Chain A
């Protein structure tokens, strides 16, 4: 069992961190589901520490210029643009 099962406040907190606005019904529904799911994830406590034999190599390539998207192509899916730039909401 979790020390502190996830409640509506926890759901609201992570929703804020993840920038996903939720309505109250969804918060309650998720809180109930998260309690079950996180309780199930707790069984990971039974997993022993395992040495990872990671055989990793960096894959490098020369830093050369390549053809990319044109400005027009890059902007074609944006709902709002201005003077060839993306236009976003106010930062603060």
Chain B
């Protein structure tokens, strides 16, 4: 427990039988659990207890799984290291002294440490895949609309999806089967997720699989990471896959487009935290605006304030066209690039993270450095595509992840391809 994996260790029992019977699931603390405190890693929601379950939590319980506790996370999902949590950083069980990645770091650490069989995270710009890579476990970011966001405390609605973390590809796919599918409470969900059997696709058969390798996603990556990446590709080739290099010029602008869009949406979504209906109010005197501003000063940490303010700036008069509109152009360009690349390949492959896990404390003072670490994961969210991170060895004793990106609703393909690398 020294790793600070859970914010709240309270459990909830699921049904007696079902495909996930007897499995325990760590749930990221931005996913609402009825009667169990849900803090989003923030002092703002320190005492918040939701009166309802998120759709994914209902589905977990229906599938027979038990909630193992609420996992630590970067405050409101904002971070790449799980160090911005108001409840302290989580240590990486697979690489002690290093960050577990973020923002779903507690979820990945719970699986890596064996504190839960499975976990749920949320991925807005890589927040399931990054901690999966850093903790040496499997993580899936589903196609946008596959999994209901009802009950997920919103950070950036147009980008985020709830996704599974597990020790193996097959187990991650089983959890995805349980949570995916249309939900009347989330109008962005789609029919494609109904009656899936992604777990059956984890058969390791990559004979004839064509892999595209976007050269831009290898540029600037750490040498040890690149070495592990190519040895994973060699292994897939040995099993009958082939690869070719592709160029995706748009991804050079994905990180800045991602942050402009995510921060803009965050500035709007986090306006609801005024301490009146729920959350920290501080009981300040003064008029509405003064009391509200003081409550938010106390309740939010620096990274959250930074993003709300940058998002407000990007949307403010005179800057909207310069930042937000351009970011939407970049988003459309990224989608177009991916569509073209996936016309000639079944999956695209890259290192999940261009670097091995940071040491704890290393990136906190330099937000831009942390933002740039998201270069390989953010394009996928901009393009609404599915992607999986699967362990691909180590460099200097630190876990490396391989990312496989598929076409929209191509979860079976990425599960099948990743399962060929599974240790299990």
Chain A complexes with chain B: yes
Docked complex Cα distance between A73 and B312 (Å): 32
What is the total number of residues of chain A having a CB less than 8 Å from a CB of chain B?
A: 50
Task: Name the residue of chain A whose CB is nearest to the CB of B313.
Answer: A14
Docked complex Cα distance between A77 and B34 (Å): 13
| Set A41, A45, A92: member contacting B287, Cβ < 8 A | A92
Known A-B contacts A19-B292, A48-B329; A79 and B305 likewise in contact (beta carbons under 8 Å): no
How far is the CB of B50 from the nearest CB of chain A, in Å?
8
Q: Verify if A1 is at the interface (C-beta below 8 Å from B).
A: no
Once the chains bind, are B278 and A14 in contact (CB under 8 Å)? no
Bitwise, A48-68 to B at CB < 8 A (1) or not (0) is: 111111000001010000000
Once the chains bind, are B52 and A18 in contact (CB under 8 Å)? no
| Set A14, A41, A80: member contacting B260, Cβ < 8 A | A41
Task: Name the residue of chain A whose CB is nearest to the CB of B293.
Answer: A21
Interface residues of B in 275-328 (CB under 8 A from A): 275-279, 281, 283-294, 296-297, 300, 302, 305-306, 308-310, 312-314, 316, 322-323, 326-328
Once the chains bind, are B51 and A89 in contact (CB under 8 Å)? no
Bitwise, B325-346 to A at CB < 8 A (1) or not (0) is: 0111110110010000000000
Chain A residues, CB < 8 A from B277: 74, 77-78, 86
| Set A22, A34, A36, A43: member contacting B256, Cβ < 8 A | A43
Chain B residues, CB < 8 A from A23: 297
Known A-B contacts A20-B296, A22-B305, A89-B284; A44 and B289 likewise in contact (beta carbons under 8 Å): no
Docked complex Cα distance between A11 and B48 (Å): 30
| Set A49, A53, A69, A89: member contacting B52, Cβ < 8 A | A69
Q: Verify if A9 is at the interface (C-beta below 8 Å from B).
A: no
Q: Verify if B18 is at the interface (C-beta below 8 Å from A).
A: no
Chain B residues, CB < 8 A from A36: 368
Once the chains bind, are A17 and B316 in contact (CB under 8 Å)? yes
Once the chains bind, are B308 and A69 in contact (CB under 8 Å)? no
